[in-house]
Amino acid sequence: MTRAHNAKVMNRFALTQRLVAQLKHDEAVIGGIGNANFDLWASDKRPQNFYMLGSMGLAVPIALGTAIAQPKRHVVALEGDGSLLMHLGCLATVAMRAPKNLTIVVWDNGMYQITGAQPTATAASADLVAVARGAGIANSAWAADEDDFERLFAAALKDGGPHLIAARIDDEPAVATTERDPVQIRERFMRGLGVRG
């Protein structure tokens, strides 16, 4: 079992591209505020992607609601460590509802990068995989390296969830910024999910 301190430090954009390349069935992907959704936007502008603007910690709650509303569709949440730390309670709710079609990916760079790289608690002592397991998400793991990340994500898409995959990442800034139009983002996502004509 890989632990936080011996997981390889990887790159968020490279991993996001690998993740998107595995999507084949119109899976929904919810990008959390800032870098998580910027790199998702840069990887592929799928209509099933949703880009959270403004508030931290909402990728998992939005993904949970989507997974419950559309149980046949796999739903992926991409969230930074700082944002997940702000909303840790959502992990316990995910475990309690236990949607089989939900995968959470945490990008852990140990900092609030986009607001000036202030350190988060994961830089000191918090281990988000241990937290997720404690909340009741048994299928929670650190990705040891890029290949392990791909393997864990493929297994999550195939096997019953919920799953949480944590990746240690470097401090490279995101490669692009998402369009800042919440109405467009919402409308495209709803069309992508087939709930708006």
Ligand X SMILES: Cc1ncc(C[n+]2csc(CCOP(=O)(O)OP(=O)(O)O)c2C)c(N)n1
70 to each of 9, 73, 114, how far by Cα in Å?
34, 6, 32
Residue 156 to residue 187: CA distance in whole angstroms:
28
State which H helix or E strand residue 141 sits in.
strand 139-142
CB of 153 to ligand X, least distance (A): 19
94 vs 169, which CB is nearer to ligand X? 169
- The residue ranges that bind ligand X (CB under 6 A) are 33-35, 54-56, 80-83, 109, 111-115, 120
Identity of the residue, 16 or 109, whose beta carbon is nearer to ligand X in the bound complex? 109
- Angle CA 165–189–27, to nearest 5: 40
Q: CB nearest ligand X: which residue?
A: 80
Whichever of 35 and 66 has its CB closer to ligand X, that residue is 35
Q: Cα dihedral sign for 184, 66, 76, 82?
A: positive
Least separation, in Å, of the C-beta of 123 and ligand X?
10
- DSSP 3-state of 76: strand
Q: Which is nearer to ligand X, 62 or 111 (CB)?
A: 111
Q: Least CB distance from residue 170 to ligand X, whole Å?
A: 11
